[in-house]
Protein backbone atom coordinates (compact mmCIF):
# COMPACT_ATOMS: atom_id res chain seq x y z
CA UNK A 1 0.00 0.00 0.00
CA UNK A 2 2.75 2.49 0.90
CA UNK A 3 4.46 1.93 -2.45
CA UNK A 4 1.14 2.52 -4.23
CA UNK A 5 0.55 5.73 -2.29
CA UNK A 6 4.06 6.93 -3.05
CA UNK A 7 3.71 6.05 -6.72
CA UNK A 8 0.40 7.89 -6.89
CA UNK A 9 1.84 10.93 -5.12
CA UNK A 10 4.81 11.18 -7.49
CA UNK A 11 3.00 10.34 -10.73
CA UNK A 12 3.19 12.83 -13.58
CA UNK A 13 0.27 11.40 -15.56
CA UNK A 14 -2.25 14.02 -14.47
CA UNK A 15 0.16 16.94 -14.77
CA UNK A 16 1.29 15.81 -18.20
CA UNK A 17 -2.30 15.62 -19.37
CA UNK A 18 -3.04 19.07 -17.97
CA UNK A 19 -0.16 20.45 -20.02
CA UNK A 20 -1.51 18.67 -23.09
CA UNK A 21 -4.93 20.27 -22.63
CA UNK A 22 -3.73 23.83 -22.05
CA UNK A 23 -1.30 23.61 -24.98
CA UNK A 24 -4.21 22.88 -27.32
CA UNK A 25 -5.52 26.41 -26.86
CA UNK A 26 -9.15 27.10 -27.70
CA UNK A 27 -11.35 24.25 -26.39
CA UNK A 28 -14.70 25.97 -26.95
CA UNK A 29 -17.66 23.59 -27.25
CA UNK A 30 -17.88 22.16 -30.75
CA UNK A 31 -14.48 23.48 -31.80
CA UNK A 32 -11.52 21.67 -33.32
CA UNK A 33 -9.67 22.24 -30.05
CA UNK A 34 -12.40 20.53 -28.02
CA UNK A 35 -12.23 17.54 -30.39
CA UNK A 36 -8.46 17.31 -29.91
CA UNK A 37 -8.84 17.57 -26.14
CA UNK A 38 -11.42 14.76 -26.10
CA UNK A 39 -9.23 12.53 -28.23
CA UNK A 40 -6.19 13.27 -26.05
CA UNK A 41 -8.20 12.44 -22.93
CA UNK A 42 -9.40 9.17 -24.44
CA UNK A 43 -5.83 8.25 -25.34
CA UNK A 44 -4.56 9.23 -21.87
CA UNK A 45 -7.18 7.05 -20.15
CA UNK A 46 -6.26 4.13 -22.37
CA UNK A 47 -2.57 4.70 -21.74
CA UNK A 48 -2.94 4.57 -17.94
CA UNK A 49 -4.84 1.29 -18.12
CA UNK A 50 -8.56 2.14 -18.26
CA UNK A 51 -10.63 -0.16 -20.46
CA UNK A 52 -12.85 0.61 -23.43
CA UNK A 53 -11.74 4.24 -23.71
CA UNK A 54 -14.03 5.77 -26.31
CA UNK A 55 -15.79 8.88 -27.62
CA UNK A 56 -19.55 9.39 -27.80
CA UNK A 57 -20.47 12.18 -30.23
CA UNK A 58 -23.54 14.41 -30.14
CA UNK A 59 -24.76 17.50 -31.97
CA UNK A 60 -24.27 20.88 -30.33
CA UNK A 61 -25.03 24.46 -31.29
CA UNK A 62 -21.78 25.97 -32.56
CA UNK A 63 -20.83 29.57 -31.78
CA UNK A 64 -17.67 31.43 -32.76
CA UNK A 65 -16.94 34.90 -31.45
CA UNK A 66 -15.99 37.91 -33.54
CA UNK A 67 -15.34 41.47 -32.39
CA UNK A 68 -17.52 43.21 -29.79
CA UNK A 69 -17.75 46.76 -28.50
CA UNK A 70 -19.48 49.07 -26.07
CA UNK A 71 -19.48 52.65 -27.37
CA UNK A 72 -20.51 55.77 -25.48
CA UNK A 73 -20.03 59.48 -26.20
CA UNK A 74 -17.44 58.88 -28.90
CA UNK A 75 -15.43 56.38 -26.83
CA UNK A 76 -15.14 52.62 -27.09
CA UNK A 77 -14.86 50.38 -24.05
CA UNK A 78 -13.19 46.98 -23.89
CA UNK A 79 -15.59 44.05 -23.69
CA UNK A 80 -16.14 40.47 -24.87
CA UNK A 81 -19.29 38.81 -26.14
CA UNK A 82 -20.90 36.33 -23.78
CA UNK A 83 -20.88 32.92 -25.49
CA UNK A 84 -24.00 32.22 -27.53
CA UNK A 85 -24.93 35.88 -27.67
CA UNK A 86 -26.62 36.64 -30.98
CA UNK A 87 -24.84 38.98 -33.35
CA UNK A 88 -26.32 42.46 -33.54
CA UNK A 89 -25.92 46.11 -32.68
CA UNK A 90 -28.25 48.29 -30.64
CA UNK A 91 -28.16 51.84 -29.30
CA UNK A 92 -30.30 52.60 -26.27
CA UNK A 93 -30.37 54.12 -22.79
CA UNK A 94 -28.05 52.41 -20.29
CA UNK A 95 -29.81 51.28 -17.11
CA UNK A 96 -27.47 50.20 -14.31
CA UNK A 97 -29.32 47.70 -12.10
CA UNK A 98 -26.49 47.16 -9.66
CA UNK A 99 -26.48 43.53 -8.59
CA UNK A 100 -29.40 42.73 -10.87
CA UNK A 101 -31.49 41.09 -8.16
CA UNK A 102 -35.09 40.08 -8.96
CA UNK A 103 -36.42 43.07 -7.03
CA UNK A 104 -34.09 45.38 -8.98
CA UNK A 105 -35.86 44.31 -12.17
CA UNK A 106 -39.28 44.62 -10.56
CA UNK A 107 -38.55 48.22 -9.60
CA UNK A 108 -37.20 49.32 -12.99
CA UNK A 109 -38.57 49.82 -16.48
CA UNK A 110 -35.98 48.18 -18.73
CA UNK A 111 -37.98 47.96 -21.96
CA UNK A 112 -35.88 49.04 -24.92
CA UNK A 113 -32.80 49.71 -22.76
CA UNK A 114 -29.29 48.34 -22.34
CA UNK A 115 -29.33 46.64 -18.94
CA UNK A 116 -26.11 46.35 -16.91
CA UNK A 117 -25.85 43.99 -13.93
CA UNK A 118 -22.99 42.89 -11.68
CA UNK A 119 -21.70 39.33 -11.54
CA UNK A 120 -22.22 38.94 -7.79
CA UNK A 121 -24.92 39.38 -5.15
CA UNK A 122 -24.69 41.31 -1.87
CA UNK A 123 -23.64 39.40 1.25
CA UNK A 124 -27.07 39.77 2.82
CA UNK A 125 -28.90 38.13 -0.08
CA UNK A 126 -30.29 34.65 0.57
CA UNK A 127 -29.14 33.04 -2.68
CA UNK A 128 -26.88 33.44 -5.67
CA UNK A 129 -28.53 34.90 -8.75
CA UNK A 130 -27.01 33.25 -11.80
CA UNK A 131 -25.91 35.18 -14.87
CA UNK A 132 -28.58 33.52 -17.02
CA UNK A 133 -31.32 34.56 -14.60
CA UNK A 134 -30.16 38.17 -14.77
CA UNK A 135 -29.97 37.99 -18.57
CA UNK A 136 -33.42 36.48 -19.02
CA UNK A 137 -35.03 38.88 -16.57
CA UNK A 138 -33.66 41.62 -18.81
CA UNK A 139 -34.99 39.82 -21.90
CA UNK A 140 -38.43 39.33 -20.33
CA UNK A 141 -38.49 43.02 -19.43
CA UNK A 142 -37.96 43.94 -23.07
CA UNK A 143 -34.30 45.00 -22.86
CA UNK A 144 -32.46 45.52 -26.14
CA UNK A 145 -29.02 44.38 -24.88
CA UNK A 146 -27.28 43.14 -21.74
CA UNK A 147 -23.96 44.12 -20.14
CA UNK A 148 -22.50 41.77 -17.51
CA UNK A 149 -20.18 43.67 -15.19
CA UNK A 150 -17.41 41.81 -13.33
CA UNK A 151 -17.29 42.35 -9.56
CA UNK A 152 -13.63 41.29 -9.32
CA UNK A 153 -10.88 43.86 -9.84
CA UNK A 154 -8.21 43.39 -12.47
CA UNK A 155 -9.49 44.84 -15.75
CA UNK A 156 -10.77 41.46 -16.93
CA UNK A 157 -14.27 41.04 -18.41
CA UNK A 158 -16.26 38.01 -17.24
CA UNK A 159 -17.47 35.26 -19.52
CA UNK A 160 -20.31 32.74 -19.35
CA UNK A 161 -22.91 31.61 -21.82
CA UNK A 162 -26.48 32.71 -22.41
CA UNK A 163 -29.15 30.70 -24.20
CA UNK A 164 -31.19 27.70 -23.09
CA UNK A 165 -31.54 24.04 -24.07
CA UNK A 166 -34.54 24.85 -26.25
CA UNK A 167 -33.08 28.07 -27.67
CA UNK A 168 -29.28 27.79 -27.53
CA UNK A 169 -28.67 31.28 -28.90
CA UNK A 170 -29.72 34.17 -26.67
CA UNK A 171 -32.36 36.69 -27.67
CA UNK A 172 -30.48 39.99 -27.34
CA UNK A 173 -26.77 40.89 -27.65
CA UNK A 174 -24.82 40.31 -24.45
CA UNK A 175 -21.29 41.34 -23.47
CA UNK A 176 -19.06 41.15 -20.42
CA UNK A 177 -17.07 44.13 -19.14
CA UNK A 178 -14.48 44.45 -16.40
CA UNK A 179 -15.26 45.88 -12.99
CA UNK A 180 -13.39 49.03 -13.94
CA UNK A 181 -15.18 49.52 -17.26
CA UNK A 182 -18.51 48.79 -15.57
CA UNK A 183 -17.84 51.41 -12.89
CA UNK A 184 -16.97 53.96 -15.56
CA UNK A 185 -20.10 53.19 -17.56
CA UNK A 186 -22.29 53.43 -14.45
CA UNK A 187 -20.79 56.74 -13.31
CA UNK A 188 -20.61 58.50 -16.66
CA UNK A 189 -23.35 57.03 -18.81
CA UNK A 190 -26.17 55.65 -16.63
CA UNK A 191 -29.30 57.09 -18.24
CA UNK A 192 -27.48 58.05 -21.45
CA UNK A 193 -27.39 56.27 -24.79
CA UNK A 194 -24.75 53.59 -25.34
CA UNK A 195 -24.18 51.18 -28.21
CA UNK A 196 -23.60 47.46 -27.74
CA UNK A 197 -22.28 45.62 -30.80
CA UNK A 198 -21.60 41.87 -31.09
CA UNK A 199 -20.21 39.99 -34.06
CA UNK A 200 -20.53 36.20 -33.82
CA UNK A 201 -20.99 33.24 -36.13
CA UNK A 202 -23.65 30.60 -35.42
CA UNK A 203 -23.19 27.20 -37.03
CA UNK A 204 -23.73 23.47 -36.61
CA UNK A 205 -21.11 21.61 -34.57
CA UNK A 206 -20.30 18.31 -32.91
CA UNK A 207 -19.12 17.69 -29.36
CA UNK A 208 -18.30 14.43 -27.61
CA UNK A 209 -18.10 12.79 -24.19
CA UNK A 210 -15.12 10.63 -23.25
CA UNK A 211 -15.80 7.32 -21.50
CA UNK A 212 -13.64 4.59 -19.95
CA UNK A 213 -14.06 1.96 -17.24
CA UNK A 214 -12.26 -0.08 -14.63
CA UNK A 215 -13.32 -2.82 -12.24
CA UNK A 216 -15.80 -5.68 -12.37
CA UNK A 217 -19.00 -5.67 -14.42
CA UNK A 218 -21.29 -4.83 -11.49
CA UNK A 219 -24.76 -3.27 -11.63
CA UNK A 220 -23.45 -0.56 -9.33
CA UNK A 221 -21.01 1.97 -10.75
CA UNK A 222 -19.07 4.87 -9.30
CA UNK A 223 -18.77 7.78 -11.75
CA UNK A 224 -15.66 9.97 -11.81
CA UNK A 225 -16.28 12.94 -14.08
CA UNK A 226 -15.00 16.26 -15.38
CA UNK A 227 -15.36 18.26 -18.60
CA UNK A 228 -12.87 18.77 -21.41
CA UNK A 229 -14.19 22.00 -22.96
CA UNK A 230 -13.27 25.50 -21.83
CA UNK A 231 -14.01 29.09 -22.75
CA UNK A 232 -12.15 30.29 -25.79
CA UNK A 233 -10.63 33.35 -24.10
CA UNK A 234 -8.19 31.37 -21.92
CA UNK A 235 -6.47 28.00 -21.54
CA UNK A 236 -9.02 26.53 -19.13
CA UNK A 237 -6.36 25.14 -16.78
CA UNK A 238 -8.51 25.30 -13.65
CA UNK A 239 -11.94 25.05 -15.28
CA UNK A 240 -11.73 22.25 -15.99
CA UNK A 241 -8.36 21.08 -17.22
CA UNK A 242 -7.33 20.26 -13.66
CA UNK A 243 -10.47 18.19 -13.15
CA UNK A 244 -9.84 16.19 -16.33
CA UNK A 245 -6.21 15.70 -15.31
CA UNK A 246 -7.48 14.35 -11.99
CA UNK A 247 -9.77 11.89 -13.79
CA UNK A 248 -6.74 10.55 -15.66
CA UNK A 249 -4.66 10.38 -12.47
CA UNK A 250 -7.39 8.56 -10.54
CA UNK A 251 -7.74 6.09 -13.42
CA UNK A 252 -3.99 5.44 -13.35
CA UNK A 253 -4.02 4.88 -9.59
CA UNK A 254 -7.02 2.51 -9.65
CA UNK A 255 -5.72 0.59 -12.67
CA UNK A 256 -2.73 -0.45 -10.57
CA UNK A 257 -5.08 -2.13 -8.05
CA UNK A 258 -7.98 -3.03 -10.31
CA UNK A 259 -8.18 -6.59 -8.99
CA UNK A 260 -9.13 -5.13 -5.59
CA UNK A 261 -12.07 -3.10 -6.88
CA UNK A 262 -15.48 -4.51 -5.94
CA UNK A 263 -17.51 -1.97 -7.96
CA UNK A 264 -17.29 -0.81 -11.56
CA UNK A 265 -15.74 2.66 -11.96
CA UNK A 266 -16.95 4.70 -14.95
CA UNK A 267 -14.84 7.67 -16.02
CA UNK A 268 -16.55 10.39 -18.05
CA UNK A 269 -15.08 13.66 -19.33
CA UNK A 270 -18.04 15.62 -20.66
CA UNK A 271 -18.05 17.92 -23.66
CA UNK A 272 -19.90 21.23 -24.06
CA UNK A 273 -20.22 21.90 -20.31
CA UNK A 274 -19.52 25.62 -20.52
CA UNK A 275 -22.50 26.30 -22.78
CA UNK A 276 -25.21 24.85 -20.55
CA UNK A 277 -24.10 21.38 -19.35
CA UNK A 278 -24.95 19.98 -22.77
CA UNK A 279 -22.71 16.90 -22.57
CA UNK A 280 -23.94 15.84 -19.16
CA UNK A 281 -27.55 16.51 -20.18
CA UNK A 282 -27.02 14.28 -23.22
CA UNK A 283 -25.74 11.55 -20.93
CA UNK A 284 -28.55 12.02 -18.41
CA UNK A 285 -31.23 11.75 -21.10
CA UNK A 286 -30.06 8.20 -21.80
CA UNK A 287 -29.78 7.16 -18.15
CA UNK A 288 -32.21 4.89 -16.33
CA UNK A 289 -33.10 7.01 -13.32
CA UNK A 290 -34.58 4.02 -11.52
CA UNK A 291 -31.04 2.70 -11.28
CA UNK A 292 -29.60 5.87 -9.77
CA UNK A 293 -29.24 5.56 -6.02
CA UNK A 294 -29.36 8.58 -3.75
CA UNK A 295 -26.70 8.93 -1.14
CA UNK A 296 -26.57 11.27 1.84
CA UNK A 297 -23.74 13.82 1.76
CA UNK A 298 -20.74 12.85 3.87
CA UNK A 299 -20.81 14.90 7.07
CA UNK A 300 -17.97 17.41 7.52
CA UNK A 301 -14.85 15.93 9.09
CA UNK A 302 -12.98 17.75 11.84
CA UNK A 303 -9.87 19.54 10.67
CA UNK A 304 -6.51 18.24 11.94
CA UNK A 305 -6.28 21.20 14.32
CA UNK A 306 -9.83 20.80 15.59
CA UNK A 307 -10.58 24.42 14.75
CA UNK A 308 -13.06 23.85 11.96
CA UNK A 309 -14.17 21.52 9.23
CA UNK A 310 -12.64 20.51 5.95
CA UNK A 311 -14.09 22.35 3.00
CA UNK A 312 -15.94 20.50 0.26
CA UNK A 313 -14.32 20.07 -3.17
CA UNK A 314 -14.93 22.93 -5.57
CA UNK A 315 -17.47 22.61 -8.35
CA UNK A 316 -14.61 22.25 -10.83
CA UNK A 317 -13.07 19.22 -9.14
CA UNK A 318 -13.55 15.76 -10.52
CA UNK A 319 -17.06 14.64 -9.53
CA UNK A 320 -18.26 11.27 -8.28
CA UNK A 321 -21.69 9.69 -8.16
CA UNK A 322 -23.02 6.21 -7.56
CA UNK A 323 -25.51 4.35 -9.71
CA UNK A 324 -27.24 1.11 -8.89
CA UNK A 325 -30.60 -0.46 -8.23
CA UNK A 326 -32.60 1.69 -5.85
CA UNK A 327 -35.68 0.91 -3.82
CA UNK A 328 -38.71 3.01 -4.67
CA UNK A 329 -37.23 4.67 -7.77
CA UNK A 330 -35.29 7.39 -5.94
CA UNK A 331 -34.39 10.58 -7.74
CA UNK A 332 -30.84 10.97 -9.05
CA UNK A 333 -28.27 12.66 -6.87
CA UNK A 334 -24.61 13.56 -7.14
CA UNK A 335 -22.29 14.08 -4.24
CA UNK A 336 -19.17 16.14 -4.71
Question: Which residues, in sequence order, are CB contacts of 105 under 8 Å at separation 6+?
Answer: 97, 137, 138, 141
Q: How confident is the model at residue 305 (pLDDT cuts 50, 70, 90)?
A: very low
Q: Are 194 and 114 a contacting pair, CB within 8 Å? A: yes
Of residues 330 and 306, the one with the higher pLDDT is: 306
Q: What CATH number does the domain containing 151 carry? A: 3.50.30.30
Is the confidence at residue 332, as pLDDT, over 90? no
Q: Judge if 116 and 180 occupy the same domain.
A: yes
Q: Among 3-7, 38-42, 130-134, 280-284, name the one with the lowest average pLDDT.
A: 3-7
Task: Detail the DSSP E strand segments found in 228-317.
Answer: 264-270
Q: Judge if 185 and 97 occupy the same domain.
A: yes
**CA-based nearest residue to 51, from 258, 244, 246, 241:** 258
Of residues 288 and 101, the one with the higher pLDDT is: 101
Phi-psi region of 259 (alpha: psi -120 to 50; beta: other; left: phi over 0): alpha
Task: Detail the DSSP E strand segments found in 13-119.
Answer: 51-72, 75-77, 80-81, 88-96, 114-118
Q: Judge if 294 and 261 occupy the same domain.
A: yes
Q: Judge if 117 and 146 occupy the same domain.
A: yes
Distances (CA, A) of 299 to 253, 294, 302, 331, 333: 26, 15, 10, 21, 16
Tens-place pLDDT, residues 266-303: 999 999 999 999 999 999 998 888 777 766 555 544 44
Question: Which residues, in sequence order, are CB contacts of 257 under 8 Å at separation 6+?
Answer: 4
**CA-based nearest residue to 135, from 161, 156, 112:** 161
Q: Among 19-28, 109-118, 208-217, 303-312, name the one with the lowest average pLDDT.
A: 303-312
Among 132, 159, 191, residue at a domain's last position: 191
Mean pLDDT for 172-198 is 98
Would residue 169 count as lying in a domain? Answer: yes
CA distance 53 to 132: 34
Q: What CATH number does the domain containing 258 carry? A: 3.40.630.10
Number of domains comprising the chain: 2
Q: Are 207 and 229 a contacting pair, CB within 8 Å? A: yes
Amino acid sequence: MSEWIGDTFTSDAGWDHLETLVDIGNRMAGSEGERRAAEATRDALERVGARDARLDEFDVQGWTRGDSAVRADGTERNCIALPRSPAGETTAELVDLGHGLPEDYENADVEGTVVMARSDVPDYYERYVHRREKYYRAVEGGAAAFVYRNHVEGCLPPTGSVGTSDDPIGEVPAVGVSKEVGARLARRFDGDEVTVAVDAEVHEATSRNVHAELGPATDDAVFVTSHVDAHDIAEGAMDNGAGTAMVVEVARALAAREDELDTRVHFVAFGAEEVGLVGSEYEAERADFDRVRTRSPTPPRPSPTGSGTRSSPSRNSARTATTGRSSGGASPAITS
